[in-house]
Amino acid sequence: MSALRFTKDHEWISVDGDVGTVGISDYAQQQLGDVVYVELPEAGRSLSKGDEAAVVESVKAASEIYAPVGGEVTEINAALEGAPGTVNEDPQASGWFFKMKIADAAEVESLMTEEQYKDFLATLA
């Protein structure tokens, strides 16, 4: 698995070949609080960069999860449907939302590295 890349909306993507695994950052899950429900996209759905791909509901609010890059959803993390709290427990590993076949690898390069994301978070404090 490659290094994570991040969006300003706090999604992350990890790329392996032409497949990206997408989730939300630790910062995002902390802001949300206890996650109680996750609505995942259907496999086969085509997404453009920035499209609403999923919804996560917590005790505080509901938030949209946006596609960090364009592509086609190939797999969802069905385990989240029965255990949405996994997003809080392990947001940047087993709490992933979906996998997608990436349409344009250049879109991944436009996202923030972990170091850039940490710098971005520092501006939010």
Report the mean per-residue pLDDT for the chain. Answer: 96
CATH class of residue range 4-103: mainly beta
Q: How many helices (H) and strands (E) does the chain have?
A: 5, 9
Quick: pLDDT tens for 43-58. 999 999 999 999 999 9
Domain boundaries along the sequence of the chain? 4-103
* Amino acid at the residue 39: E
The percentage of the chain sitting over the pLDDT mark of 90, rounded to a whole number, equals: 96
User: Distance of alpha carbon 62 from its chain centroid, rounded?
Assistant: 15
2: pLDDT strictly greater than 70:
no
Tokens of 16: 């392996």
